[in-house]
Structure 1
C-alpha cells in the first residue's frame, strides 16, 4: 500500500498517546499528562495494538513493559513528533501553560544542591509543573529510569547502562570534617591518624564501596567505618563531641565551614574528583518539557 494511503488511515492523535505511553509506561500518568481519562488512554492503546498488530506494552509484575517492536518505534516516533511540534507549534514549549508532574531521584545532597534554585524557577516560570522527589541507591535510581518510574536522576554514576543519557552539572572534590577539640591543636590529620580514627560513611547500603575507599584500597589501606547512614544532611552533626571523621563532597559541608566547634580540611591522600550529573532515558531526550527541566536543573546547580 502507498505510504500516503497508510497515513490516511491513521489517527495521528494515537501516535501522540503512544509516544507518552512509551515514555511513562503507566496509563494513569499518561492520562494526566495528556489531560485525558484513563479509559480513553486504555481505548487508545487497544486501537494502537490493532494498528501495529503488536501488544506494544505488556503487563509484567505490575508494570507495563514495552515489546521489542515498541522499542523500535519509540525513538523514531519521539523524534518525528518533536520535529512536527517545531514546525507546527506557534510558540514552541510554554512553561507557563504546561501541566505536568516530574519525578526526580536524588539524595538529600542532590536536593540541597539543586532543589532551592530549581523550585524558585518553577514557581516563577512554570507554576503548574509539580515535582515528586524520590531517594534511592545509585543502582535503584538507574533502575527507576530504565523502568519509566522516574524522569531524571541526579547524583554520581560512574557506569551507566545503555539507553541512558547524561549531562555534567558540577565537578566535586572531597573534604573532611572533624571535632576541633579532638584535633589536638592541629588543623588537619595526617594519613596515619586519619586511618586510626573511626569514620562516618554516607551510603544507602551497608558495605558500599565509595570513591574514598577505592582510593585507600589502591594505596593498600582500609579505614574503619563506625557509622553508616543514608542521609548527608545529618552526617556533619554526628561529628560534634566525638572522635569521628566524615569525608564527603566539599559542597555538602559548606553550611558548617564557619562552625567554630568543627574543623574542615583536605583529605591526607589523593581522592579523584567526581562529576555530579543528571541522567535520563533516551526516550525522553526530545520531550520539550523534559528539555526545559534539564536546562532548569543545570542553571540551578
Structure 2
C-alpha cells in the first residue's frame, strides 16, 4: 500500500503538497538539520513540517535510535514509493526535453499532389535523418476537413494565406509561389499576348480540391462578364499538366510546379493577365497543437523544406 496516497485516511483535497519535498528530504536524510538545508527551509520550519506529517500519517515516521534517527516501518514503506512518485509529479509540470530522434508517432497531413510532389520528398529526406520514428500520412482534402482537424484526425493542412482559417486554427507561413498560365509549347495561342477576354475563348483544365465549385479566378472573370469553358476539372495538379500537354486546353496553377515539369510535358508558361498572381503558401494546424513540442518541430521542418524547394523553383 502507498501510504502517501491512502484515500480512506487522507483527504487529498485538503493535503498541503508543499509538505512533499520536506517529507522526501526527511526520509532520505533522516536528519532534520540536513533535510532543512536540502529544501532551503529553516530548522524550526522543518521541525514544524515533521510535526504536521506525523499528524497526517498518524505515525512518528522518525524515531531516535542508537546512531541517530531511524525510519519507522510505515516511513520505510513511504520512502520506497515517494521518490518515483515525485519524479512522475514533476513531469506533470515540466515535460522532458523533446528529442525528435526518439519520437514515435504518425503525423497526418491534408495535402494535394502539388505538395506531395514539391515539398514531401525534401521533408521526408530530412525527417528520415532527424526523426526516423515518425510515420507520415498524406490524405486528400474533403468537405469534412475542418471537422477532421478539430477531431485530431488531421494534424496539418496546406492552404493559401488568403484562405479563411476555421475557429481554433492558426497558420504558419511557408513560402511564396505565384500563378502561371500553362499550355503546350505548340498551342495556337502560345505566343499570344493574353488578356482576360482570352480566358473565354479557350477550354480550361480546372483544379478543384474540395469539389465545391469555388474558384477565385472565375469570380474575377465573372466581374468582367467572362465565363470559362471547362474541359475537365480534377483535384490532381499533375494530371492537369498532363491533360494540357495533350490538348488545346490551358490551365492556371502553381508556377513552381509547372516549372518543375515544363520540360517533361513540353509546356510553356505565361504570366496570367491578372493584377496579383502571387500565392502565399501556409501550413494550418489547430492552436492546441502548438503546445505539443513534436508538432511545433514538425511544422518547422515543413517550413524549412518549403523554403528550400521554392528557392530552387525560383532559380529555375
Query: 1:150-208 deviations in whole A, cap 9, x for unaligned?
Result: 11111236111211111111222110111232235615433333320010001135462
Does the C-alpha gap of structure 1 residues 4 and 278 become closer, same or farther in structure 2, counting only changes over 3 Å?
Answer: farther
Mapped contact 1:211–1:271 kept (Cα < 8 A):
no
* Aligned counterparts of 1:291 and 1:280: Cα–Cα separation in 2: 10
Among 150, 167, 171, the alignment partner of 2:154 is 150
The question of 1:129 aligning with 2:134 is answered yes
The answer for unaligned runs of 5 or more in structure 1 is 9-79
Q: Which structure carries more relative contact order (alpha carbon 8 Å, separation 6+)?
A: 1
Instruction: Please report how far the alpha carbon of residue 298 of structure 1 lies from its aligned counterpart in structure 2 after TM superposition.
Output: 0.5
* Residue 216 of structure 1: aligned partner: 221
* Residue 262 of structure 1: aligned partner: 267
Mapped contact 2:141–2:210 kept (Cα < 8 A):
no
The answer for unaligned runs of 5 or more in structure 2 is 1-10, 19-89, 307-316
Query: 1:131-165 deviations in whole A, cap 9, x for unaligned?
Result: 1111113x433221112111111123611121111
Structure of greater Rg: 2
* Aligned counterparts of 1:279 and 1:207: Cα–Cα separation in 2: 20
* Aligned counterparts of 1:194 and 1:97: Cα–Cα separation in 2: 53
Normalising by structure 1, report the TM-score: 0.67
The question of 1:297 aligning with 2:302 is answered yes
* Aligned counterparts of 1:249 and 1:218: Cα–Cα separation in 2: 23
* Residue 257 of structure 2: aligned partner: 252
The question of 1:201 aligning with 2:206 is answered yes
The question of 1:240 aligning with 2:245 is answered yes
Mapped contact 1:188–1:265 kept (Cα < 8 A):
no
Normalising by structure 2, report the TM-score: 0.64
Match of 1:183, SS state, is coil
Does the C-alpha gap of structure 1 residues 133 and 206 become closer, same or farther in structure 2, counting only changes over 3 Å?
Answer: closer
Among 107, 110, 119, the alignment partner of 1:105 is 110
Query: How many residues are matched?
Result: 224
